[in-house]
Amino acid sequence: MPTALLRTLLLCALAAPVARAQLVPLAEGGARALALGRATTALEGDVWGHHNPASWATLPGRAASAFASQAFGLGELRLGAVAVAEPTRFGTVAASARSYGFEDFRETRFGLGFARAFAVSASRRVHAGLRLGYTSVSIPGFGSAGVLGLSLGVMTEVLPGLGFGFHAYNLNRPAFSEFDPLRRGLEVGFAYRPAERALVLLGIDKEVEFPLSFRGGLEVQPVDVLVLRTGFTTEPVRFSAGVGVQTGLLRADVSAERHEWIGWTPAFGVSVQF
């Protein structure tokens, strides 16, 4: 297909009402989350905190990550992002930036977050996190617009080895116009560690404009340096798999997600914890 035609089609499909750009959720939140079927609402130690900002409070130390994905292999749907999290005396502060799209349609988001842990008993902790995201869209010839979204998450270990979390995102209903709201919903998730080197994730996500989506993920660590992951989602049906390699402070993650109809989305990321 000629590139010009493809771009025009994409522009119609994605940019005309901006909301359409979000009909297919972006491949974001880190290669690990994508490989785990995005079921990471109860996942601890995630520098992205995309499916739960409370995760920042569970980071053992300073962390940073960079990540790129290309939805369905289309260059026009390329996404690049960076995130950092810094634990302080009062809690963990996090910041992120991402860019998505191409020259005729560009969506940029800057995020700022805060999370901290609360001791609710001698042995139990509840983590809570908050994220402010500024999303701006720019379409040459039409101009640009920006909105501010507020998201809130809580995460806790209800039993040894069993984590629970929830995440209400874009609580304040950010919208570019009446017809172009940002995705808004509630995620609930569980993380179960049946063995030291295995992790099972389950999640549900209800977005106000979309059917309820079930998610699941499995992570195993056969050897210290290697992590294998797989996951799925429903609504839309996607299957994903990924590999993580870690040495010392550094970790590299690769993932591929297959959408039932549209095809493969590759993603790659590097993270460092120190």
The residues binding other proteins (CB under 8 A) are 90-91, 114, 116, 118-121, 124, 126, 128-130, 150, 152, 154, 156, 158-159, 164, 166, 168, 171-173, 184-186, 188, 204, 206-209, 211-212
Distant-in-sequence, close-in-space partners of 138: CB < 8 Å, separation ≥ 6? 105, 106, 107, 108, 144
Q: Among the residues of 11-143, which ranges form H helices?
A: 31-35
Which of 204, 267 has the CB closer to other proteins?
Answer: 204
**Integer CA distances (angstroms), 58 to 22, 107, 149, 185, in order:** 29, 29, 23, 23
CB of 212 to other proteins, least distance (A): 5
Angle ∠(86,51,44) on CA atoms, nearest 5:
55
CB of 228 to other proteins, least distance (A): 29
* Both tokens assigned to 208: 């106000």
Which of 142, 179 has the CB closer to other proteins?
Answer: 179
CB of 203 to other proteins, least distance (A): 11
* Both tokens assigned to 206: 């209800």
Q: How many other C-beta atoms are found inside a 10 Å radius of the C-beta of residue 96?
A: 23
Which of 64, 186 has the CB closer to other proteins?
Answer: 186
CB of 136 to other proteins, least distance (A): 17
Task: Give 254's strand partners.
Answer: 243, 268
Which of 104, 180 has the CB closer to other proteins?
Answer: 180
CB of 170 to other proteins, least distance (A): 9
Which of 203, 266 has the CB closer to other proteins?
Answer: 203
